[in-house]
Chain A
Amino acid sequence: GQQVMQIPQYQHVQEGEDFTTYCNSSTTLSNIQWYKQRPGGHPVFLIQLVKSGEVKKQKRLTFQFGEAKKNSSLHITATQTTDVGTYFCAGRGLIFGQGTTLQVKP
C-alpha cells in the first residue's frame, strides 16, 4: 500500500537556526498536506500543495512539492521556541508520515 516516509525523526536546533523536514512517497501523490502537532495536542493543518513543483510560503515556513509529486519538504527559517512540535506530511491528506519532532533550545 501507499507509504509516506519522513526524515529526520527528531531534530534539535538552537533558536535562530534553520530546520528542514523531508517527506517521500512510494507513489505519485495527487496532493500533500502538512500538519503540526504540539505536545499533548491534536494535528493542526498548515498547508496543502497540489501542483508539481509548487512552492508556498507562510512567514518563516516554506513548503515545496517535488516535480514528480513524490516528495515534499518543509523549511523553517530562524526557528523560534513556538515552532516546537511534531510536523507531519500527509499524502492525499490521508496517509500520514511518522513525523519529525522539532525541539528548539532557547
Chain B
Amino acid sequence: DTGVSQDPRHKITKRGQNVTFRCDPISEHNRLYWYRQTLGQGPEFLTYFQNEAQLEKSRLLSDRFSAERPKGSFSTLEIQRTEQGDSAMYLCASSLGLGGHRYEQYFGPGTRLTVT
C-alpha cells in the first residue's frame, strides 16, 4: 500500500497524559499536513511542512501541540497534557508542493483520540 499511513489508528488516554501520533506520507510527496476533525465539522488546519521545514502553523493551535518532520519523510504530532477537548480525529495528508502552487492532498485514515 503506497498511500498515507497513520499510527496508531485509535488512542485512548487519560486527561493530562502526553500522546504522540505518527504519519508516513506518500514517499514522493514533499508536503505534509496535519488537521483535526470533530464530528460534523470540516478538517481544521493545524500545521504543514515542506520537506523538514514547518511552513505554517494555525494561530489557533495551542502551545501544547507540537509537530516535527526531522528528515522530511515521516512526521509526528505530539499533544502534551491532553484535555477532553482534544478528543477528535487527527488527520494527516501529503501532497507534492512547488512554490506557492497548491496540489491535491491525499489523506490518511486518521488517528482517533479519546481523552477520558
Contact of B72 with A by CB under 8 A: no
Contact among A1, A45, A95, A99 with B104 in the assembled complex (CB-CB below 8 Å): A45
Q: Are B44 and A43 in contact (CB under 8 A)?
A: no
**What size tier do the contact residues of chain B reach?**
20 to 34
Q: Are A48 and B43 in contact (CB under 8 A)?
A: no
Q: Are B42 and A94 in contact (CB under 8 A)?
A: no
Contact of A44 with B by CB under 8 A: yes
Q: Are A92 and B43 in contact (CB under 8 A)?
A: no
**Interface hub of A6, A31, A42, A98 (most chain B Cβ within 10 A):** A42
Q: How far is the CB of B12 from chain A (nearest CB, A)?
A: 19
Q: Are A96 and B59 in contact (CB under 8 A)?
A: no
Chain A residue nearest to B42 in the complex (CB): A96
In the complex, how many residue pairs between chain A and chain B have their CB atoms under 8 Å apart?
51
Contact of A97 with B by CB under 8 A: yes
Q: Are B102 and A33 in contact (CB under 8 A)?
A: yes
Contact among A30, A45, A93, A98 with B42 in the assembled complex (CB-CB below 8 Å): A98
Known: A94-B45, A95-B45, A96-B42. A48 touches B110 (CB 8 A): no
Chain B residue nearest to A4 in the complex (CB): B42
Residues of A44-69 at the interface with B, using a CB-CB cut-off of 8 Å, are 44-45, 48
Interfacial residues, chain B to chain A (CB-CB below 8 A)? 33, 35, 40-45, 48, 56, 59-60, 91, 93, 95, 100, 102-110
22 contacts between A and B (CB under 8 A): A1-B59, A6-B42, A30-B100, A33-B104, A42-B110, A43-B43, A43-B91, A43-B105, A48-B102, A48-B104, A88-B42, A88-B43, A90-B43, A93-B95, A93-B102, A94-B33, A94-B45, A94-B48, A95-B45, A96-B42, A96-B43, A99-B41
